[in-house]
Structures are given as structure tokens and as C-alpha cells.
Structure 1
Amino acid sequence: MTDGVPTTDAAAAARQASVEPRRFSPRSPIEQMEPQAAPPPPPRLKMRHRSFVTFGSNMFTILLALILVAGAGAYFVVREIEKPGPLQRDKALVVRGGMGDIADQLTQEGVITSPYPFMFAVVTQSHGEKLKAGEYMFRQGVTIPQIIATLIEGKAILHSVTIPEGLTSEQIVGRLMENDVLAGEVRETPAEGSLLPDTYKFERGMSRTKLIKQMQDEQRDVLNRVWSRRSADIPVKSARELVVLASIVEKETGRADERPRVAGVFINRINKGMKLQSDPTIVYGLVGGKGTLGRSLTKADIERATPFNTYVISNLPPAPIANPGRAALEAVANPSRTKDLFFVADGTGGHTFAETLDQHNRNVVRWRQIERAKADQQKPVDRYEDDSVLPPPAPASGQRSGAATDAPASPATGTLPPGQRPRVTDASEGTPRDPLKNKTFDLNSPKTVPALTTR
């Protein structure tokens, strides 16, 4: 206690005095004129979760800024993607696999300006796994969407190789090996007659073995269709025999209009039990798949016995002597219905056909005249006379046979008795004076073909 008042009461009185407003004594007029002090600010109230609100506000601001930046960046990227590329001219390019490698390669080759727009477009469209490696042609100013479409669809450049009719399998393999767009080795030469001559298209890097298989598959399909439509009158027992005979027809003539007639000659000879007597079979028996002999046939060659020499054997050769095309197969399956038994080159790249040996002998002598004129190109005459030739019916005025471009292919040759009237032929045939042999002239326009000297 203090002065008779409990200590607790004194403390309570002090607190009450601090809460109650102080009572001021009256001020003088001068004091009243003085400005009063401003009341103190109210105490700040504590806000719950103030830190969370501040963090959220800051994050919103940052997010908004990022959206604006990303939008602006996307706008410029889209513009870069859709605008024409920097390529100044069409360009072929072998593209490797992988999105990053492709982007870098396209940039280095000048197809695109930067790899990033390309990669952005590929990723946003989920095309990363769809891009295909290969050889592609990119056009001038190509855009990134066009590049992606090309790589996804695999629109690779297609190369081609043409296999002419009448080549042997060994010759065909040689052509494929010379083609540097194809890949791989050919370990075994395909069977003769098993490949279909044609023009084949392929992408860079295709294996030679795969292309050969394609040739074999197509030959098999064509042969099956031709065999199913064959004439019932032909003395051919199997599809293989048809290929053998078609290969001989293919080697005998390169003219499409003659194939059915040449096939008809061989069919007639088979029906009569005659030997085929085809010169290309002699050559194949001597050199095999190499194709060419490199010289003219001799009497010893004709008499030499080989399994393929149809001057010696009585039947078809044991295998094809080349790879025949569709037209030759069709010709054998449906030959011309004639009585022809012989044919010989006529000096125009075609042949003269005959039903009898006597007619054939006349044709053979005429061919020899043409050969003699070719060998004597410097002879300053316009006609050639042979006292041993009996002339066939006179040709129409101005008629000529054309340039000699083929070697004789003559089943059964013969000679005529001497002492007949001379046969007159045009000695310009097969010489540099022959307008059909001179390739500098336009043979489709008669105005540019030099006039033929006649008498």
C-alpha cells in the first residue's frame, strides 16, 4: 500500500488516466489564436496474407509481360515461316535424317535463312517423326511449309534407266553397274530372258538387286498375260519356248511393224520341220551373254556346232539369246499369217520377205549389191550394174528403198544362175550421198532432203 491506497488500484488509475482524454486548463486568448497540432495518424491495422497478394500481383505482371513478348515473337516467327525463302534458283539436295540435321543442312545450302523458324514449325505441328530423308528438288523461293510438305510426303527426285529390247542379261547388269545413282552389287547375273526391257524410275540409292527383281516381276506378269492370249495355232509348247523364240525375233529385227511377220517366218519353218537358220543364234553360241561378236560371221562360224546354232540344230535353242520386249512376245504369240519362209535385209533397216527359195535368192543378190555399194563409197556413179542378177518387177518411178543400216539376217541363203539381164540399183544407198543416211538433214521435212539423182 501507498498512502493507504492499494498498489493495484494505483496502476489501474494510471491506465485510466492514459485512456481518458486529457483535460486542459483554459487557454489565454493568445494561446487560442495559435494553430492546434494535427492529431496523430491512426495506428496501421495488420493485413492477413499481404505477402501472398503481393506475390500474385507480381506474377501476374510477369506473366502478362511474357505473353506480350511471346506473342510478338510468334508474330515475327510466323512471318519468317510464311515468307518466300532465300533460294535464288531450283536446287537438288540429298537430305539427311533428323530434324536438327535437316534444319542445319537447309540453312547451309541456302534453302532457308535460319534453322529456328523451320524447327519451330516442325515442333508446333508435331511433324518431327514424319520427315523423310532422300533426294529432293527445292524450287526457287520455296517456303518452310512447302519444304515440310515435301519432306513428309517423300516427293523425292525420280531417276530413270532405259533398258532397250534385245540386250542380254549380262549387258543389262553392265548398264546398271554404270549407273552411279543406284547402289549395291549384283552377285549373280539373272537368267537370260528373265528381265523385261523398259524404262524404270527409281530414287537415288535404290539397290541394283531390287531393281533387277522389279524387272523380273514385270517380265513374269507380261509373259503370263501374253501366254494367256496366244494363238492356238502356234507350235510353241510352253511360255519358256515362247520367250526363246521371241528373243530370236527381237535380235532379227528392230522394226515394230516387222516383228509379227518375222515371227511368222519362224513359225512356218517350225511347222515344216525346217531349221530356223538365224544368224544371232550363231553369235550367241560363240560369245554367250557378251552379246556381240565384233566382226562378220564366217563360213566356219556358221558350220561350228554349238547348242544355240540354229544352222546346226533342228529345234529351238535351249535358252533365250536375249531379253525380248513386250512387242516381240506378242508377235510370237500372235504371228502374221503368211507363207513366208525366208527374209533378208533390204537396205532400209528392214527386210524383204519371200515364200520361195528362188525369190529369196534374188533378194540376197540385191543385198550383196547394196553391201558392195557401201564398201565403195568413193565410186562416182549413180547406178550399179551386176550382169549376174535377174531383175525383179520394175519399181515405180522415183521409188527407192532407203539407207542400208542393217546386217543381213537370212534364213537359207542362195545364188541365182548367171547370165541374166543386169539389175540396176541406186548406188547412193548406204553412202554419204544417201539423204536417209545423212543425219544432218531433217527427214520429216521433204524440203530439206537433198534430191536423189536418177536416170
Structure 2
Amino acid sequence: MSKSDRKAKRTRRRSGVLEITNALLSLLVLGLIVLGGLLIYGASRFYAPAVPQEAAFTVERGSSVMTTARRLEEQGLIPRDQLLPSEWLFWAGTRALQKEKDIKAGEYLLPAGASMAAILREITEGTPIARRVTVPEGWTSWQVAQEIGKDAHVLVGDLAGVPPEGSILPGSYDYNREDTRQSVLDQMQARMQEEVAAVWASCRADVCGPNGVLKTPEQLVTLASIVERETGVPTERRQVAAVFVNRLKKGMRLQSDPTIIYGITKGEGQLGRGLKRSEIEARTAYNTYQIDGLPAGPIANPGVESLRAVANPDDVDYLYFVAAGPVPSDGHLFAATYKEHRANVAKYREIERQQAIAAEAEAEAAKDAIEAEQASEAGEDVPAGAAAPQ
């Protein structure tokens, strides 16, 4: 081979290498351009408005990033059928921001127009929707079980049964969607145990303990439940408690109507009528007109203030009380002697009588006005002021 041929061959070889190199570089540049385009597209979609309208979204316990993304897409909260699947973009964005371990279970309110980035921020840094069940003071355990069982509370599972009376602390309890009903009840009962223990520890020696009228925390709860049912006026709880404590000290019967009622209804709904004489005279485990001491157990779930009122009642010598008016907010009249009590009862009955007279007079006036109006419409001569005002 001549020198010129060898030179031409080397030239062709270098030319081939350059062509391959140029081709590879071109592919690399093209790949970088495509990758950059995809990254720009992905970032634009990750930060673009997505949620069509305000919506609640639940992150289930133990859900992976991809599972969460798939559920967002299934619920129409992030786009479907785009160049890059939204669930992949959500997963990639989560990994890029190192948030995959920060996702918190719970229910979140996503605003309209929220982007995937905003959704991720909400479920990692936001506060889940607070759902709450409230137990009023004086509710029975049957009422509490009915409330927890409502579908509106989006709880799951069933209760093992109606919890023991007096085992629940009234108040408001937060929960997350799909928490179990039993877990909410467990919170209520744990709080009651804590409060009873604290109140018992601070109870007066003449009320609780070996030298008191209440020998156990359970008896404290029972008496507090009676106080809770006897008055709805917070300022007189300690006075009502004093009446019952004083009666126990003297060996007098408690004579509490709510205990009789509980013995009839077992806490399942309202009696809806007055007590019959036969019910007052019946000797049952809850009729404190007929039995000495406390009834068989609590008649409701008392609140903290009623527990504290029993543990530290007012230092008064009251033994009796009667309603001061026809509505619970009127409170009670208290007395230390039966003679004073009878005078208070007479006052209450006079109030009842006057109200009955006023109600009857109002009803008669309404009938007279209607009759006068009808007579006037019939063309009769009706004295001025007799017709009902228009």
C-alpha cells in the first residue's frame, strides 16, 4: 500500500469516528433537551392549579405516596390523561422534595385550585379536619352510645355495648375520619378515670374516705350524678351537694326524683310525664324515697364541676331544696329546717298557681279576640278594642 493510500485510510477512519461521536453527541443533546422539556413540563404541571373545587380528602393510615397519588387521581383532585401521569408526577415531586416520610394520616380540606405541590404541603404540614363528638353533662351512657353510633360522625366499627353508667366524662372529643367508635369511647372513659382520681385525692375528709360519708370513688360518682341531674344552675351545685352530704351524715334519705326516674327508664330516653304515686312508693334499688343511702349506681355521667361540688360542698346546714320557679334556670330555694322548706314549697306552689291563672287568662283573651274579629267580619257591631290587633 502506498503512502498516499495509508494516509487516505487514516483520514477515513478519523472521519468515521467523528461522525459517530457527532451522532452520539447529537443524541445526548437531544436527550438532554427532551429530559429538560419533561422536567419543565412536569414542574409546570406539579405547580399548576389542579383541584376543581373545594373538597375533603382522606389520607389513610399506612398509605404510600403512590397510593395517595392514585386516590387523588381517582377522586378527580389531580388531572387524568395527561402526557405524564399525575400519580407519577406527584410521586416524583414528593421524592424530589424529600417529603415521602412526612405524609400524615387524616382528613384534609383542599381549596379549589390547589396544585399538587399545595396538596403535598397540606398533607405533610397542614392540620387535619377536626371532627368532634360532644357529650353534655348529665347524659346517660345510653345517650352517649346513641350519639357515637350516628353515621354523621364517620366513625367505624361498633361498640361492644352500652358502657357502664358514670364511666364517661362529659365534654368534647376530637377524632379523625374512620377512627373507631370504641377508640372515641375509650378516650371518654380514660378521661373520667383521671378526673375521678384527681377529685377523690382532693376531697374533704368528712366527705370521702374512711371517715367520710362516701367510702369509694364509685360512690363519689354516684352522688355527683344525682347533683348533675338535680340542677342545671352551675352556681348552686355545691349547695345541692351540701344538702345530700348533710342528709347522708344524718342518716336521712336522699329523696331525689331523678333517681326514681332512672330506675324506671334505665337512662334510655325521657320519662315524659310526672311520677305516679305508685312509683314513688315502690321500693327499688334506685328509689331514694324508699331506700337508705345511695342508689345502686350512678344515674348519669356527671361533669367535672359536679364531681368537685360533691368533693367540696358548701359549708351550709341545708337539708332541703325545692324549685324556685317553673324552669330549671330559676334554680332552687334552700332550707335548713322542714318548717322553712314548707314555706318555700308554698312559695313555689303560689308561683305555679299564678302562672296557671295567667296562662288561662291569656288563653281566654286569645279566644275573645278571635271571636271579636269573626263577629266584625260578619258585619256585627264590635266595641272598639275588642278585635284582635292586626
In the superposition, the TM-score normalised over structure 2's length comes to: 0.79
What is the 5 A alignment of 1:215-294? 215-234=188-207, 235-294=213-272
> Against the structure 1 CA distance between its residues 47 and 158, is the aligned structure 2 distance closer, same or farther, given a 3 Å change threshold?
same
Shift of 1:136: 1.5
CA RMSD of aligned residues (A): 2.8
2:343 aligned with 1:362: yes
2:158 aligned with 1:158: no
> Against the structure 1 CA distance between its residues 374 and 179, is the aligned structure 2 distance closer, same or farther, given a 3 Å change threshold?
farther
2:300 aligned with 1:309: no
Higher relative CO (Cα under 8 Å, sequence separation at least 6) belongs to: 2
> Against the structure 1 CA distance between its residues 213 and 49, is the aligned structure 2 distance closer, same or farther, given a 3 Å change threshold?
farther
Shift of 1:294: 2.3
The residue type paired with residue 280 of structure 1 is P
> Against the structure 1 CA distance between its residues 64 and 298, is the aligned structure 2 distance closer, same or farther, given a 3 Å change threshold?
same
What is the 5 A alignment of 1:132-147? 132=104, 134-147=106-119
Which range moved further: 132-141 or 242-251? 132-141
SS at match of 1:225: helix
The residue type paired with residue 247 of structure 2 is R
What is the 5 A alignment of 1:408-447? none
2:78 aligned with 1:106: no
CA distance in 1: counterparts of 2:7 and 2:185, whole angstroms: 98
CA distance in 2: counterparts of 1:312 and 1:260, whole angstroms: 25
> Against the structure 1 CA distance between its residues 219 and 49, is the aligned structure 2 distance closer, same or farther, given a 3 Å change threshold?
farther
CA distance in 2: counterparts of 1:42 and 1:263, whole angstroms: 118
Q: For structure 2, which runs of at least 5 residues remain unmatched after alignment? A: 81-85, 208-212, 363-390
What is the 5 A alignment of 1:335-414? 335-347=313-325, 348-349=327-328, 350-375=331-356, 378-380=359-361
Find the partner of 1:211 among 171, 174, 184. Answer: 184
Q: In percent, how many aligned pairs have the same letter?
A: 37
Shift of 1:104: 4.5
Shift of 1:107: 4.2
2:130 aligned with 1:149: no
- Contact 1:166–1:325 (CA<8 Å) still a contact in 2? yes
Shift of 1:291: 4.9
SS at match of 2:361: coil
- Contact 1:344–1:352 (CA<8 Å) still a contact in 2? yes
Shift of 1:335: 0.5
What is the 5 A alignment of 1:27-42? none
Find the partner of 1:74 among 32, 36, 39. Answer: 39
- Contact 1:226–1:333 (CA<8 Å) still a contact in 2? yes
The residue type paired with residue 44 of structure 1 is A
Tell me the matched-pair count. 343
CA distance in 2: counterparts of 1:378 and 1:216, whole angstroms: 46
SS at match of 1:233: coil
> Against the structure 1 CA distance between its residues 231 and 286, is the aligned structure 2 distance closer, same or farther, given a 3 Å change threshold?
same
Shift of 1:124: 2.8
Q: For structure 1, which runs of at least 5 residues remain unmatched after alignment? A: 1-18, 20-39, 382-455
Shift of 1:49: 6.8
- Contact 1:284–1:321 (CA<8 Å) still a contact in 2? yes
CA distance in 2: counterparts of 1:355 and 1:291, whole angstroms: 34
The residue type paired with residue 66 of structure 1 is G
The residue type paired with residue 93 of structure 1 is F
User: Equivalent residue for 2:173?
Assistant: 200
What is the 5 A alignment of 1:34-53? 44-46=8-10, 50=14
CA distance in 2: counterparts of 1:209 and 1:99, whole angstroms: 29
Shift of 1:220: 0.6
CA distance in 2: counterparts of 1:370 and 1:227, whole angstroms: 40
- Tell me the alpha carbon deviations over residues 350-371 of structure 1, each in whole angstroms, 9 at most, x when there is no partner: 1111111111112212222333
SS at match of 1:245: helix
Shift of 1:267: 0.9
User: Equivalent residue for 1:62?
Assistant: 27
The residue type paired with residue 45 of structure 2 is E
- Contact 2:136–2:170 (CA<8 Å) still a contact in 1? yes
Shift of 1:295: 1.4
Find the partner of 1:94 among 49, 58, 64. Answer: 58
CA distance in 2: counterparts of 1:94 and 1:371, whole angstroms: 56
SS at match of 2:302: coil
Find the partner of 2:142 among 155, 170, 173. Answer: 170
The residue type paired with residue 214 of structure 2 is V
Name the structure with the higher helix share. Answer: 2
- Tell me the alpha carbon deviations over residues 395-441 of structure 1, each in whole angstroms, 9 at most, x when there is no partner: xxxxxxxxxxxxxxxxxxxxxxxxxxxxxxxxxxxxxxxxxxxxxxx
> Against the structure 1 CA distance between its residues 41 and 291, is the aligned structure 2 distance closer, same or farther, given a 3 Å change threshold?
closer
CA distance in 1: counterparts of 2:145 and 2:354, whole angstroms: 38
User: Equivalent residue for 2:368?
Assistant: none
In the superposition, the TM-score normalised over structure 1's length comes to: 0.69
